[in-house]
Structure 1
Amino acid sequence: MSRVLITGGASGLGLALATAMLARGDEVLVGDLAEERPDSVPEGAAYVRLDVRSQQDWDAALADVRERWGGLDLLVNNAGVATGGRIDVEAFADWERVIDINLLGVVRGCQTFVPLLKERGSGRIVNVASLAGLVHGPAMSSYNAAKAGVVALSETLRFELAPFGIAVNVVCPSFFRTNLHTSLQGKDEEMEKTAVRLITKAGASADDIAAKVLRGIEKDRPVILTDRQGYAAYGTKRFARPLYDRAFGKGAQRLARKAAK
């Protein structure tokens, strides 16, 4: 049994992970934006208001964990938003928003809880990135950059924290059915339409991805890929780069033609 804190745990993958971890007997604390406990939070999980942009909220979550359990076994940095857009269309404010939430939110979580994990001499951090952190298609530069930062941070911390008994994994799923598209609020309407279609029409559910994440954690995979599309895309980039370049180059040409209409 583990003591687990999950950010963004009231919906999507965070909720699926919370439900799966409760089912296996873990103690779960869900963090999310609502002031009051959302109805979606499963029975048996505790709740704390946690905006990952707020160091004050992180400090309150740390105090809650210390009082509730006296320690933590697993921190899941899951909270995130969707964004996307061509470099000359997406507003700089959208860049700042996605970096603050998707990347710096993870940094704040790690900085807040690593001292507690070091005190115990063991623990695990699981950072939820995206396949976009590994393969970088056109018109998604802000999202790609933020998620690539999460991948780089996770690899760095995996080495840095291993001497203290702390494991680090990064999750890189492709598109799956969730409510992530509701967080879109950028200026590039064409890219938003594409993102909504890819998310809402995806074959895998959040529960499917959560099950694969748990298996990846059990096997301590440094990078947890969750679907065939992810393995294919990442494998092509690494071992068949001309095919990778051609595929994304064609995608960019299609976007350019749409923009010209």
Structure 2
Amino acid sequence: MNKTNAPGRRVLVTGGASGLGAALVSAFAARGDRVLATDLAEQAPEALPRGAEYLRLDVTSDDDWTAALARVEEAWGGLDVLVNNAGVAAGGRIDHLTLDDWRWITEINLFGVVRGCRTFTPMLKRQGSGYIVNTASAAGLIHPPTMSSYNAVKAAVVALSETLQHELAPYGVTTSVVCPSFFRTNLASSLRGGDPAVEASAGKLINGSKLTADEIAAEVLKGMDRRRPVILTDRAGRTALRAKRWLRPLYDRTMRRTAEGVRRRVERGGPAAKTGTTSTEKHA
């Protein structure tokens, strides 16, 4: 039976220890779903909502994904919803990002999602049902300057998800991609490294948001209920995407003003000699 919208679903969430992942774990559990929250961080059982369990999972580890599949098969005999949410956020000008920076974010944000989909797709096909939800970002649809590595991997997650929407539909498997804008999380306090001109603007965007992770999670579940292929969780993301599609000259001018602002800050403050990325352990 297809249970992807019914209560009591079997749900696995990566990156489930904090931020949007933790909010999603709570939202699913509140609906009466059984949830396996996974993350790199240690999680005390008492920190989890009723109906949730915890498994340490590094999304870059094939062995950890194999262990997660074995845990799901043994405990539940199947899976109804796979949420590939774990990821990192980064920013930096193209001449300040190293190839190691690119490899790092690609391994986590793109191949982490690919590994999750590859691990559980055979099970979902055998069941003839299931729901894959991949967390990307509004940056996967609109592409601000100074975020080339983040934009690129998030756009790849959007493309992967659209591909699977069509590829897995004949097997009864639904796929959605979640594209939130900035929302309040621990991101700003966790920025590390790098490119001061970008770090300042990123912190302003994050701290200035009025949205919470719980609000974003609620929108994700609404989008899943409606089987939306692309789940836009907030007005800012919807407005930016409409501008890109229908008001392209305005969109381009806005992006170029943003890039010009970075250039002027660099010239005033002289941080161009520094290199690196800004990063955190959960999505923004």
CA distance in 2, matches of 1:183, 1:132: 19
Equivalent in the alignment of 2:116: 109
Residue type of the alignment partner of 1:45 = A
Equivalent in the alignment of 2:154: 147
> Which piece of structure 1 moves more, 103-112 or 172-181?
172-181
Equivalent in the alignment of 1:27: 34
Equivalent in the alignment of 2:256: 249
CA distance in 2, matches of 1:121, 1:53: 27
CA distance in 2, matches of 1:178, 1:69: 32
Q: 1:100 aligns with which of 84, 89, 107?
A: 107
Report how far residue 183 of structure 1 moved. 5.1
Residues 32 and 51 in structure 2, CA contact (< 8 A), matched pair in contact too:
no
Equivalent in the alignment of 1:195: 202
TM-score (norm 2): 0.89
Residue type of the alignment partner of 1:27 = R
Is 2:48 the partner of 1:46? no
Residues 45 and 53 in structure 2, CA contact (< 8 A), matched pair in contact too:
no
CA-based RMSD:
1.3
SS in 2 for 1:83: strand
CA distance in 1, matches of 2:171, 2:190: 36
CA distance in 2, matches of 1:65, 1:112: 11
Is 2:190 the partner of 1:216? no
Report how far residue 89 of structure 1 moved. 1.0
- Of all paired residues, the percent bearing the same amino acid is 60
Paired residues in the alignment total 261
Is 2:10 the partner of 1:3? yes
CA distance in 2, matches of 1:2, 1:215: 15
Higher relative contact order, structure no. (Cα contacts within 8 Å, ≥ 6 residues apart): 2
SS in 2 for 1:8: coil
CA distance in 2, matches of 1:197, 1:34: 27
Residue 142 to residue 149, structure 1, CA distance change in 2 (3 Å): same
Post-superposition CA distance 1:43-101 (Å, at most 9, x none): 43111010101111101000000001000000000001110100011222221111111
CA distance in 2, matches of 1:167, 1:183: 34
Residues 99 and 146 in structure 1, CA contact (< 8 A), matched pair in contact too:
yes
Report how far residue 211 of structure 1 moved. 0.5
Equivalent in the alignment of 1:238: 245
TM-score (norm 1): 0.96
Residues 10 and 40 in structure 1, CA contact (< 8 A), matched pair in contact too:
no
Equivalent in the alignment of 1:128: 135
Residues 33 and 51 in structure 2, CA contact (< 8 A), matched pair in contact too:
no
Residue type of the alignment partner of 1:217 = M
